[in-house]
Chain A
């Protein structure tokens, strides 16, 4: 009997000892991470940084591991779990959100903050609960997890129709013709009510219109027609002016987009100005011929006579002199000792005009007599 008591006593002692060892040894946990030095939060309370040792005898604890540049991670450790836990944090990469159609607003649900418009790429370190919003479509709530790519097909509202517009060339602005605001740029999916008229505009192209109706296809191709450009060619150095005394527009070759019928005047010194009218149907290159103003050479006999405008108000030069005969004009030719002459020159005058000056004649005062009066001085 004594031996059984001893055995029981020895057994109990050994059991208690083993239990104590077991209890004392099993309560210590250690949380480590890759990378190290990750901050550990429990709820909103920052506890420490990894590696982190703690005692847990029962139940479970949830920690949040945070580190700049890494995706946050929640981990729950139970007292029954292994005493050493290694957590590997994923680096923050890009979270991509694509929608059909594009240009959808991505709004954070918690505070209503606009995160961006699709297609959207952003770095997320934690899960974002967002709502996707676009006019003509039903709001679409979703959670965005970091480092993932999403593609969401937006569901049109009742009575709306979603059409994918593409154009040639791409990049045309789509706007509601009634409202005027730019909605999107091609290629893009647009949801709108039937009867909506869209305007497609692009620099250098003529505006194109499309009206949404019941028979509209879900894909619409818009071919934009370039605005016609006309290039005016003429003699080098010619300038292009607006007709009717407009200001100078440029020098030839002069390229201009022609949306409506327009008239230009091409001018060059020594040439008659030429008026040219172009329209969207005109060929892309228009040659403007300029007619030279006739150049007249005025010679005098004797040479060196002064040539001036009538009345000698403006001296043009001395002969021989070349003058442009744009229109009929009067010139006065004068030389010392010679009779002044007035001549008219014009476009039809010969190219070389010789003016012979006659020696200046003098008047004669003929005294028919001298009256010697019968006078007595008084």
Chain B
């Protein structure tokens, strides 16, 4: 009995050590739980399954324009060049002190005919970089290099034309310019039945690129290279179905929502895809400085009727259609746009604004 009393009054060292260890363990567990909650909160940012980018900082590009030295204004005689803006700015800054010519090589995918660019233009919405400059703008007047090409046609740079063209092509979309950081490119998927089976396309504006041919022959390299850090690809959904015009989602939307003029112009484009007269008229209008008063008919339908196109785009975005698996494999992954864009929480957006 006496021993028992003594033991109670003088607890052993081992007993107090075990209490201490137990307490430390409890505190450690509590900290781990709190940390886990915090991490789960941090990564619990909703992913946008329709928006993809290459996870690079926004960059600026200049749109330059070369015209045949002969003055011809056929579709293939007017070229659109896509150049890195910082490089051009640096070249222009030292141009006045140039005693030796500098050669700037422009990769093949950065020059395309005007006609192709016009087809793409409805799907492109320029953004704004961190300094507040548009990520896509006309090449400045200061830099006027001589243009040399491998083709037989000699070209000269026409910065005035590029300026007019950019003003006209993107004015309808400039609603978003002040709020968006990256440029946006709206893409749709399209599956068309053919004699050999199904043909797969990625559609940007009015341009439908066959897959995988367009990736293999470099037709989509402009998107992979120059736009790499500049854009978010936004998947709108399936553009059509196997029944052709009957399954054309765009026509269905225009007809259903009263955009009849746009629908008519779009039908006319589908019936007569190549219209050299329209391109020539556009070139003439931009060259005389009256681009604002240009006839709608010379523009692709979705540029001529931007309200209808914007409404369509918004409706498809709201629908939130997920891209099909083939689109992932054959297009997005191969182009490098394999990262979904994280939707920034609303509170953070408010704080940024």
B103 pairs with A366, CB closer than 8 A: yes
Q: Is A45 an interface residue (CB 8 A)?
A: no
Interface centre among A361, A364, A375 (most CB of B within 10 A): A375
A363-B98, A367-B147, A369-B150 known; 12 new pairs, CB 8 Å cut-off, are A334-B96, A363-B95, A366-B105, A367-B155, A369-B111, A370-B149, A371-B221, A372-B112, A376-B273, A377-B270, A378-B201, A378-B239
A339 pairs with B219, CB closer than 8 A: no
Contact A364 to B106, CB < 8 A, known contacts A370-B151, A378-B207: no
A364 pairs with B108, CB closer than 8 A: no
> In the complex, A31 Cα to B113 Cα: how many Å?
148
Of the candidates A358, A361, A362, A373, which one forms a contact with B116 in the assembled complex, judged by CB atoms under 8 Å apart?
A373
Which residues on A sit within 8 Å (CB–CB) of B146?
Answer: 362-365
B143 nearest in chain A by CB position: A363
Which residues on A sit within 8 Å (CB–CB) of B218?
Answer: 371
Of the candidates B144, B201, B219, which one forms a contact with A373 in the assembled complex, judged by CB atoms under 8 Å apart?
B219
Q: Is B34 an interface residue (CB 8 A)?
A: no
Shortest CB-to-CB span from A285 to chain B, Å, is 55
A378 pairs with B240, CB closer than 8 A: yes
Q: Is A170 an interface residue (CB 8 A)?
A: no
Contact A377 to B111, CB < 8 A, known contacts A362-B101, A365-B146, A371-B221: no
Contact A342 to B97, CB < 8 A, known contacts A366-B103, A366-B105, A370-B113: yes
> In the complex, A374 Cα to B220 Cα: how many Å?
9
List 30 A-B residue pairs with CB atoms under 8 Å apart, sorted by A's residue number: A334-B96, A339-B98, A360-B96, A360-B98, A361-B101, A362-B101, A362-B145, A363-B95, A364-B102, A364-B145, A366-B104, A367-B66, A367-B79, A367-B149, A367-B150, A368-B105, A368-B106, A370-B112, A371-B112, A371-B116, A371-B222, A372-B112, A372-B116, A373-B116, A373-B214, A373-B219, A373-B220, A374-B209, A375-B119, A377-B207
Q: Is B190 an interface residue (CB 8 A)?
A: yes
Shortest CB-to-CB span from B352 to chain A, Å, is 36
B270 nearest in chain A by CB position: A377
B101 pairs with A374, CB closer than 8 A: no
Interface centre among A361, A368, A373 (most CB of B within 10 A): A373
SS class, residues of chain B in contact with chain A: mixed
B97 pairs with A373, CB closer than 8 A: no
Q: Is A326 an interface residue (CB 8 A)?
A: no
Interface size bracket, A side: 20 to 34
Which residues on A sit within 8 Å (CB–CB) of B206?
Answer: 377-378
Of the candidates A340, A368, A376, which one forms a contact with B96 in the assembled complex, judged by CB atoms under 8 Å apart?
A340
Q: Which residues of A contact B (CB under 8 A)?
A: 334, 339-342, 358-378
Contact A377 to B119, CB < 8 A, known contacts A367-B111, A371-B218, A371-B219: yes
Per-residue CB contact flags for chain B residues 17-44 toward chain A (1 = under 8 Å, else 0) read 0000000000000000000000000000
Q: Is B269 an interface residue (CB 8 A)?
A: yes
Interface centre among B96, B147, B213 (most CB of A within 10 A): B96
Which residues on A sit within 8 Å (CB–CB) of B269?
Answer: 377
Shortest CB-to-CB span from A110 to chain B, Å, is 102
Shortest CB-to-CB span from B290 to chain A, Å, is 27
Q: Which residues of B236-275 are within 8 A (CB) of A? A: 239-240, 269-270, 273-274
> In the complex, A365 Cα to B107 Cα: how many Å?
11
Q: Which residues of B200-244 are within 8 A (CB) of A? A: 201, 203, 206-210, 213-214, 217-222, 239-240
SS class, residues of chain A in contact with chain B: loop
Of the candidates A363, A369, A371, A372, which one forms a contact with B101 in the assembled complex, judged by CB atoms under 8 Å apart?
A363
A372 nearest in chain B by CB position: B113
Of the candidates A366, A370, A372, A373, which one forms a contact with B209 in the assembled complex, judged by CB atoms under 8 Å apart?
A373
Shortest CB-to-CB span from A308 to chain B, Å, is 12
> In the complex, A358 Cα to B99 Cα: how many Å?
6
Of the candidates B81, B96, B240, which one forms a contact with A339 in the assembled complex, judged by CB atoms under 8 Å apart?
B96
Shortest CB-to-CB span from B312 to chain A, Å, is 13
Which residues on A sit within 8 Å (CB–CB) of B107?
Answer: 368-369
Which residues on A sit within 8 Å (CB–CB) of B81?
Answer: 365, 367
Shortest CB-to-CB span from A226 to chain B, Å, is 66
Shortest CB-to-CB span from A227 to chain B, Å, is 63
Q: Is B171 an interface residue (CB 8 A)?
A: no
Q: Is B326 an interface residue (CB 8 A)?
A: no
> In the complex, A374 Cα to B211 Cα: how many Å?
10
Contact A368 to B270, CB < 8 A, known contacts A363-B101, A363-B145, A374-B210: no
B219 pairs with A375, CB closer than 8 A: yes
> In the complex, A161 Cα to B146 Cα: how many Å?
109
B111 pairs with A371, CB closer than 8 A: yes
> In the complex, A334 Cα to B240 Cα: how many Å?
61
Q: Is B148 an interface residue (CB 8 A)?
A: yes
Which residues on A sit within 8 Å (CB–CB) of B110?
Answer: 371
Of the candidates A341, A363, A374, which one forms a contact with B214 in the assembled complex, judged by CB atoms under 8 Å apart?
A374
Contact A373 to B207, CB < 8 A, known contacts A358-B99, A361-B100, A367-B111: yes
> In the complex, A310 Cα to B110 Cα: how many Å?
37
Which residues on B sit within 8 Å (CB–CB) of A369?
Answer: 107-108, 111, 150
Q: Is B91 an interface residue (CB 8 A)?
A: yes
Q: Which residues of B156-186 are within 8 A (CB) of A? A: 157
Which residues on A sit within 8 Å (CB–CB) of B150?
Answer: 367-369
Which residues on B sit within 8 Å (CB–CB) of A365?
Answer: 81, 104, 106, 145-148, 157
B117 nearest in chain A by CB position: A373
> In the complex, A140 Cα to B220 Cα: how many Å?
129
Q: Is B109 an interface residue (CB 8 A)?
A: yes
Which residues on B sit within 8 Å (CB–CB) of A376?
Answer: 201, 207-208, 210, 273
> In the complex, A144 Cα to B203 Cα: how many Å?
136
> In the complex, A341 Cα to B239 Cα: how many Å?
58
B151 pairs with A364, CB closer than 8 A: no
Which residues on B sit within 8 Å (CB–CB) of A358?
Answer: 99
Which residues on A sit within 8 Å (CB–CB) of B157?
Answer: 365
Which residues on B sit within 8 Å (CB–CB) of A364?
Answer: 101-104, 145-146, 148
Per-residue CB contact flags for chain B residues 269-288 toward chain A (1 = under 8 Å, else 0) read 11001100000000000000
Which residues on B sit within 8 Å (CB–CB) of A378?
Answer: 190, 201, 203, 206-208, 239-240, 270
A334 nearest in chain B by CB position: B96
B98 pairs with A370, CB closer than 8 A: no
A370 pairs with B79, CB closer than 8 A: yes
> In the complex, A148 Cα to B274 Cα: how many Å?
140
